[in-house]
Structures are given as C-alpha cells and as structure tokens.
Amino acid sequence: MDCTAARRTMLEAERAELAGLSGSELGRHLESCAACRAAATGILAAERELGEWLAAARPRGGAADAVARAAAASRRRARFRRMGAAGSLLAAAAAAVLLFLPHARPPAAPPLAAKLPEAGGFSVTASPGRDVVVMHTSNPKIVVVWYLPSRRTS
Amino acid sequence: MSEARGLEDAVADLVPRAQRGEAGALDALLGACRDTIYRWALVQTADAEDAEDVTQEVLIRVHGSLGRYEGRSRFTTWLYRITRNEASNFGRRVRSRLRLADAATREAAADAASSADPLGRIHAGKVAALARDLLLRLPRRQREVFHLADIEGCTADEIAERLGMSPVTARVHLLHARRALRSQLLARLPELGEEV
C-alpha cells in the first residue's frame, strides 16, 4: 500500500486500524510510514478531543432546579389535559342531549288527503290520531287546511 | 462502556421505583438522565441553547409519560427516541446551527492558553474547535451515527435500534460521516500529516 491509498483508506478506517492495532494492510503501512502515522494519530487525537468535549458538555443550572421545573410543567400540562378531556366530555354530552333526547318535532307534512275541488265544497280526511281544521280565506281560491295532533281521547 | 450503557445500569433500579410512584425516585431518575439527554440533544440540534431547551422538554415528557414505558426496549433506547423526537420538533421551530460552532471557537481560544498540548506541535484548541465545527456541520443523520458509533461506542445493532434503520444503513452513514470529518480535518490542518 502506498501513501495515497493509505490516506484514502484512513478516511473510513476503524479507530483500531488507525492506531495500528490491527494487522490490516493500512496498519502495516502506518508502521513503516511516519507521515501517514502522523496523520492517523492526528485524526485519532481530534476524534478523542471530540469525545472529551461531548463528555464534558453539561446543561447550565442545577439538575434539581431543572427537574423541579419539569415536574411542575408536567403537572400543569396534565391538569390542562384533564380539563380538556372534561370539556370534551361536556361537549359530547350536550351534543347527545340535542341529538337523542325526545323533543318537539316540527309538524309533519299533512297527508295529501285533501282534495281541493275546482270550485265549491270539498272533503278533507284526517289521518288516524289527527284532527284537521279547514279555514277559508277572503280569496275563494285559497283555503288553509291545518292538520294537528288529535286532542280527543279515545 | 458507552454512556448509554452506563446510564442504563445507573437507572436500572430507579425506573421501576419511579413507575411505582416511590417518593423521590422520579426526580432522581430525571436528575440522573439530564446530562446524557443534554449531550444527545447537543448532537441532534448542534446548538447548545437549543439543546438546553430540548433537554427540559424531554424531562417534562419523561415525567408525564414514564407510566407508559413498558420495558419493551431498553430505557435508554426509549429515552433516546424521545430526545430525538423533541429535537426534531424543536428543529422545525428554530434553526441556529452556527451559534455553537462560533461559541466553540471562542471557547477554544479562551482556554487555549491554559490547556496542555496533546498533539505535540499542533495546538489542541485549534484541532478541537475544528473537529467540533466539522461534526456539527455534518448532516444530522451522519452526526447521530458518528456520535453513537465512534464516540459512545455503540454497536451497529444498537445504533440501528435507536435510529430505526438497518445496521447496513447505519454503517453507510458512519462511513460517510468519517470520510467527511477526516478529509476536512486533513485538508484544513495539513500539519496533521507531517512527520514529527
């Protein structure tokens, strides 16, 4: 292996290889080439520096204070979640009341039992359980036929 | 031992105690995890201040959801995923990658005078600052894999589990990361390749 190949291999090599701890071709080259050995040592040192820097990295402030703040925030969020859940339940209950409880329905369309004649009188038949009121207006062509729930008891 | 494995051992008894609601156990657990979460978040966000915010958010999440941890994966894997999710959410809101690189350079310059020189002729502060800068400029996925493999010492299977990718994909990301980092190091610090 020449220096060009060694430098290329070095870029992806395991650290053990760079340290000359493996019997690889690169390792053998590093034993015999001081310049490449220096490059490998430099890479190892830089990566060791990285590790030391990261190992020493610490967040600011004390852990106890950070944990206390996190606990308080967590409890606050849990409270909001519970309130949100309660609100959702209330909304769902209200929707259920509106949808499912019996309430006054708009009068159903009357059955088309009334037959208005071209002129003169006509007969109206109410469906079972209903009464009917017929109201004549000043316009002889307009007659109001009103079907309503029967008040009679059978 | 990788940091994750060390943490796993350290909190092995705290997790069930905290889940049972034992007094003080949850606080102790969060306190034990905080520095590790921060370092993970630092790698994820590439920004010290963002990492602080992500860390706090992760602590809140763990406090609120530890009861839902069922032990199907290792605790540190679960914790890593939460950190990753929070960092992703945070990253969508804030982007300031270069701040840490600038801060790292300033920090290196400040402590350069007092530091020992482990690289012989080459100034350690310069190398360290450049290495940090290069790491933080890597694409996020490469940064994560490089950190887990070459700094934390995780195996390919562990990386694959944590990042939700195949070991082969993890390996590909690792090789890309090494190549990018090392080629830049050698290009920008040509003295690294000179004989001592």
- Average pLDDT for residues A82-108, to the nearest whole number? 73
Instruction: For residues B146 and B184, state if they share a domain.
Output: yes
Better-predicted residue by pLDDT, B41 or A87: B41
Instruction: For residues B106 and B85, state if they share a domain.
Output: no
ipTM here: 0.73
Which residues of chain B from 10 to 39 reach within 8 Å of chain A, CB to CB?
26-27, 30-31, 34-35, 38-39
* pLDDT at B175 (0 to 100): 95
Task: Give the Cα separation of B16 and A67 in Å (integer).
Answer: 18
Instruction: For residues B114 and B166, state if they share a domain.
Output: yes
pLDDT band at A104 (very low <50, low <70, confident <90, very high): low
- Average pLDDT for residues A87-104, to the nearest whole number? 75
Among candidates B56, B63, B76, which has minimal Cα distance to B6? B76
Helix axes A25-32, A34-56, angle to 10 degrees: 110
Amino acid identity, position B143:
R
Question: What number of C-beta contacts closer than 8 Å exist between A and B?
Answer: 125
Instruction: For residues B114 and B58, state if they share a domain.
Output: no
Residues B136, A50: contact at Cβ < 8 Å? no
pLDDT of B83 above 90: yes
pLDDT of B47 above 90: no
Q: Round the average pLDDT of chain A to a whole number and report it.
A: 80
User: Long-range contacts made by residues A63-67, C-beta under 8 angstroms, separation at least 24?
Assistant: A63/B30, A63/B31, A63/B34, A63/B35, A64/B27, A64/B31, A66/B30, A66/B34, A66/B55, A66/B56, A66/B59, A67/B27, A67/B30, A67/B31, A67/B34, A67/B59
The total number of structural domains in chain B stands at 2
Q: Where are the alpha helices (DSSP H) in B46-147?
A: 48-65, 75-93, 98-112, 124-137, 140-146
Instruction: For residues B78 and B118, state if they share a domain.
Output: no
Q: What angle do CA B60, B61, B63 make, to 5 degrees?
A: 65
Closest CA–CA distance from residue A15 to any residue of chain B (Å): 8
Better-predicted residue by pLDDT, A135 or A119: A135
Q: Are the beta carbons of B60 and A55 separated by less than 8 Å?
A: no
Task: Give the Cα separation of B147 and A141 in Å (integer).
Answer: 92
CATH of the domain at B68: 1.10.1740.10
Residue-range definition of the domain harbouring residue B23: 3-93
Instruction: For residues B83 and B104, state if they share a domain.
Output: no
pLDDT of A125 above 70: yes
Mapping DSSP to helix (H, G, I), strand (E, B) and coil, where does residue A133 land?
Answer: strand
* pLDDT at B42 (0 to 100): 92
Q: Are the beta carbons of A42 and B122 separated by less than 8 Å?
A: yes
Q: B110-125: per-residue pLDDT in tens?
A: 554 444 444 454 566 7
* pLDDT at B115 (0 to 100): 46
Instruction: For residues B169 and B143, state if they share a domain.
Output: yes
- Domain ranges (residues) in chain A: 3-56, 61-103, 104-154
Nearest by CB: B193 against A38, A51, A53: A38
* pLDDT at A90 (0 to 100): 83
Instruction: For residues B87 and B102, state if they share a domain.
Output: no
Report the predicted TM-score, pTM, of the whole model to 2 decimal places: 0.68
Q: Are the beta carbons of A50 and B135 separated by less than 8 Å?
A: yes
**How far, CA to CA in Å, does A131 sit from each of A9, A115, A146?**
101, 16, 8
Instruction: For residues B75 and B105, state if they share a domain.
Output: no
Instruction: For residues B132 and B184, state if they share a domain.
Output: yes
Share of chain A above pLDDT 90, in %: 12
* pLDDT at A110 (0 to 100): 56
Listed residues B93, B127, B161: the one ending a domain: B93
Instruction: For residues B128 and B44, state if they share a domain.
Output: no
Listed residues B93, B127, B146: the one ending a domain: B93
pLDDT band at A11 (very low <50, low <70, confident <90, very high): very high
Reading the block at residue A41, the tokens are 């040592």
* pLDDT at A81 (0 to 100): 80
